[in-house]
Amino acid sequence: MAAPLIKICGLSTPATIDAAVAAGATHVGFVHFKPSPRHLSIARAADLRDRVPAHVKTVLLTVNMEPAQTSDIIQTIRPDVLQLHGQEAPEWLQVLKEHSDLEIWKAIGVKDQASLEQAQRYKPFAHRLLYDAPAGALPGGNGLALDWGLLGNFRHEAEWGLAGGLDAGNVAEAIRQTHAPLVDASSGVESERGVKDPDKIAAFCEAARAAMTALPG
């Protein structure tokens, strides 16, 4: 199988970026969304971005951001990936895809089979669909899991990833059920809300890598 892809999201300090990189994360995520306990200002995210080595991709997470602000923020932070985690329209993704060389990921709250099928309308405009639990107090980052059985039984025709409530204790089972090529954790690698824990990051990456490399084919 392809190399396991592991994203650690909501990082906010140099030490936890270093911990994610040392643990073998392939992607690190910064959240720019004021209501989030993981929110980073543009200046802080740009500063931390310089800490990320070239072999690890920087993901910038935004929620329903205005187009003009999106263009400013992309130029300042220079992410590799833009993760859209709100109600962004497919047409807006199309514009972004056509006018930037960023990877565009669309996060989708998966409630049932119908929502999974509806999400496929983003396929032509997103480089990856990121399946998460439906929105709770926040649009994501709530530590809630979706029904993994829905993904295991789905015929995937787009690149995709699994997010939502993953931690070192459940990620192997999530991968076994879904065969996710990319897993993404935020709440599950924190010691308290918004505070990342280097030991939990290391344990998550190790468990995810072991489970992904054990998949057949």
Amino acid found at 190: E
In angstroms, give the least distance from the CB of 68 to ligand LGQLAAA5. Answer: 21
Among the listed ranges 27-35, 88-96, 112-120, 149-157, the one in contact with ligand LGQLAAA5 (CB under 6 A) is 27-35
CA distance 161 to 174: 11
- Which distant-in-sequence residues (6+ apart) come within 8 Å of 68 by Cβ? none
Interface residue with ligand LGQLAAA5, options 4, 10, 79, 181 (CB under 6 A) = 10
Contact in structure between 166 and 212 (CB atoms under 8 Å): no
How many CB atoms lie under 10 A from the CB of residue 211?
Answer: 18
In angstroms, give the least distance from the CB of 203 to ligand LGQLAAA5. Answer: 14
In order, the DSSP letters of 79-132 are -SEEEE-S---HHHHHHHHHH--SEEEEEEE--SHHHHHHHGGGTTT-SEEEEE
Among the listed ranges 15-23, 26-34, 65-73, 92-100, the one in contact with ligand LGQLAAA5 (CB under 6 A) is 26-34
Tell whether residue 140 is a contact of ligand LGQLAAA5 (CB under 6 A). yes
Interface residue with ligand LGQLAAA5, options 42, 74, 138, 158 (CB under 6 A) = 138
Interface residue with ligand LGQLAAA5, options 93, 166, 171, 183 (CB under 6 A) = 166
- Site residues for ligand LGQLAAA5 per CB under 6 A: 9-10, 29, 31, 33, 36, 38, 61, 63, 85, 132, 138-144, 163-166, 184-188
